[in-house]
Amino acid sequence: MAMATTAASPLQDQTSASSSASTIMAETSSEETQGSEAAVVVGEYSRWMEGAGAGDEAVAAVMALTAVVRSCDAADVEGLVAEINSAANVLKCLEKPYGSLSAACDMFVRYVAAKPDDDAGGGAAGFATKRRLVSRAKIFRDISLKARETVATLCQDFVPDDGGAILVHGRSPAVLAALKLAAANRKRFRVICTEGRPGGAGQRMAGELATACVPAMVLVDAAVAYAMGEVGVVLVGADVVAETGGVVGDVGTYQVALVARAMGKPVYVAAESYKFARLYPLGQKDVDQHGDDRPVDMGGVPVPAGVDVEAPARDYTPPEHLELLVTDVGVLQPAAVSEVLIQLSL
């Protein structure tokens, strides 16, 4: 295994000491309150993650934030928005690097707090505004819960029914749901799963497909160009959909898209709208990676002494290499992502 690489009067002293003590007590109280709030939102997040049928970090974050909005006892809208932001920042600390959980938190904050009323103070007007924010939180929650199912349904138009091959890369839950649905609809197709080193995501994907009675095979990553001739479409997921219309996903997605483009094969991306983010990657070095201590399997071959190993976890695929984005807000051209981000914040 390789590791990728003037002295004061007595009265002044007494006053100062009293002031310092008050400050410390206030800071301690604030820290205790913040700690309690953090524990609540993390607890809600964990409860959802551990619940039956859970496992989606982004949806769990949305559920936790919705609970925060619903239970918040802030006296005005400004306080409510501040608490939402604080809770979102707590959850974002659970994920490194920036991914779908963080994107969902940012999207939730923008959507729920969008276009606040002119009167955001207390009284009846403030209560009505607060109620509207709670309502928007619930709407966003419901959209997120149904997102993957909607994506899977819309993907059916792109799954062949003639026994043709679909090439997939990584283990995207949205792609998996789409293929399982296609199989349940008795569509005839087979799936080629790239192995997805170093994590082996493709092998796990193939295993889950086989369990669902979907014909699947594993392809070594280096053979993508070799096999692309027999592929009808490429279907990949995304960790984050950038405002550029490009996607951040499992490393290797970019090279798969390059090969597919060169050989005239369409690349479709299945992604939930809560993964849309205001990011502008200009190149691969703009993509946040996991820690350098990630273990890398080199197939049992030892790395020669003095040789470094670079094993990025994610890469960025520019929009010009993508045909369409299949999302729960519709089937989109990559260029439409920026407009959708604006609309979701209204």
pLDDT band of residue 54 (cuts 50, 70, 90) is low
Single residue among 97, 124, 146 that ends a domain in this structure: 146
Catalytic residue among 56, 106, 239, 328: 239
The answer to whether residue 154 is domain-embedded is no
The mean pLDDT of 181-192, rounded to a whole number, is 96
Domain limit, last residue, from 102, 124, 146: 146
Total structural domains in the chain? 2
Question: Is the per-residue pLDDT at 276 higher than 90?
Answer: yes
Of the candidate ranges 9-23, 76-90, 175-189, 302-316, the one whose mean pLDDT is the lowest = 9-23
Q: Which is higher by pLDDT, 131 or 142? A: 142
Helix 123-155 / helix 173-184 crossing angle, nearest 10 deg: 60
Residue with tokens 């109620």: 131
Q: What pLDDT was estimated at residue 288?
A: 74
Residue 135, domain member (yes or no): yes
β-bridge pairing 231-236 and 267-270: parallel
pLDDT score of 198 more than 90? no
Distance of CA 78 to the CA centre of its chain: 27
Q: Which amino acid is at 125?
A: A
Residue 224's domain comprises 159-343
List the one residue out of 206, 213, 181, 178 whose CA is nearest residue 192.
206
Q: For the range 5-13, what are the long-range contacts, defined as Cβ-Cβ under 8 Å and sequence gap of 24 or more? A: 5/292, 5/308, 5/309, 5/310
Same domain, 103 and 238: no
**Could you give the CA distance from residue 118 to residue 285 in angstroms, rounded to a whole number?**
42
**Is 188 found in the same domain as 142?**
no
The pLDDT tens digits for 212-261 are 999 999 999 999 999 999 999 999 999 999 999 999 999 999 999 999 99
Domain with residue 63: its CATH number is 1.20.120.420
According to the model, what pLDDT value does residue 215 have? Answer: 95
Residue 152 lies in a domain: no
Same domain, 109 and 252: no
* pLDDT computed for residue 234 by the predictor: 98
pLDDT for res 117: 52
Q: Is 142 a catalytic residue?
A: no
Q: Are 134 and 263 members of one domain?
A: no
pLDDT on residue 24: 32
> Do residue 141 and residue 163 come from a single domain?
no
| 153 part of a folded domain | no
Is the same domain home to 101 and 242? no
In angstroms, the CA 155 to CA 231 distance is: 17
Tokens (6 digits) for 145: 């819960």
Tell whether 20 is covered by a domain. yes
% of the chain exceeding 90 in pLDDT = 48
Half-sphere exposure (CA, 13 Å, Cβ side) for 211?
7
- C-alpha neighbours within 13 Å on the C-beta side of residue 262: 11
pTM of this prediction exceeds 0.85: no
Distance (Å, whole) CA 196 – CA 219: 9
Residues 192 and 336 in one domain: yes
Same domain for 337 and 216, yes or no, is: yes
Is 109 part of a structural domain of the chain? yes
Average pLDDT for residues 268-273, to the nearest whole number?
96
pLDDT for residue 134: 81
One domain, residues 42 and 163: no
47 and 130 in a single domain? The answer is yes
Spatial distance between the Cα atoms of 316 and 233, rounded to a whole number of angstroms? 20
Q: Round to whole Å and give the CA distance between 195 and 227.
A: 13
Residue 4 lies in a domain: no
How much is the pLDDT for 81?
A: 86
Whole-number Å distance between alpha carbons of 220 and 340? 36
How many CB atoms are located within 10 Å of the residue 174 CB?
Answer: 27
In a domain, 5, yes or no: no
